[in-house]
Amino acid sequence: MPRLVLASTSRYRRELLERLRLPFDVARPEVDETALPGEPPQALAVRLAEAKARAVARVLDGDGWALGSDQVADLAGRALGKPGHREAAIAQLRAMSGGAVRFHTALCLAHPDGRALAAIDLTEVRFRTLTDAEIERYVDAEQPFDCAGSFKSEGLGIALFEAIDNRDPTALIGLPLIATCALLRQAGFALP
Residue of 25, 70, 74, 146 marked catalytic: 70
70 annotated active-site? yes
Q: How far apart are CA 74 and CA 28, in angstroms?
A: 25
Q: Are 46 and 118 in contact (CB under 8 A)?
A: yes
For 8, other C-beta atoms within 10 Å of its C-beta total 25
Q: Are 57 and 50 in contact (CB under 8 A)?
A: no
Question: 111-116, long-range: CB within 8 Å, 24+ apart, which pairs?
Answer: 111/57, 111/63, 111/64, 111/65, 111/66, 111/187, 112/57, 112/58, 112/60, 112/61, 112/62, 112/64, 116/50, 116/53, 116/54
> Of 106, 111, 104, which is closest to residue 5 (Cα–Cα)?
111
Residues carrying an active site annotation: 70
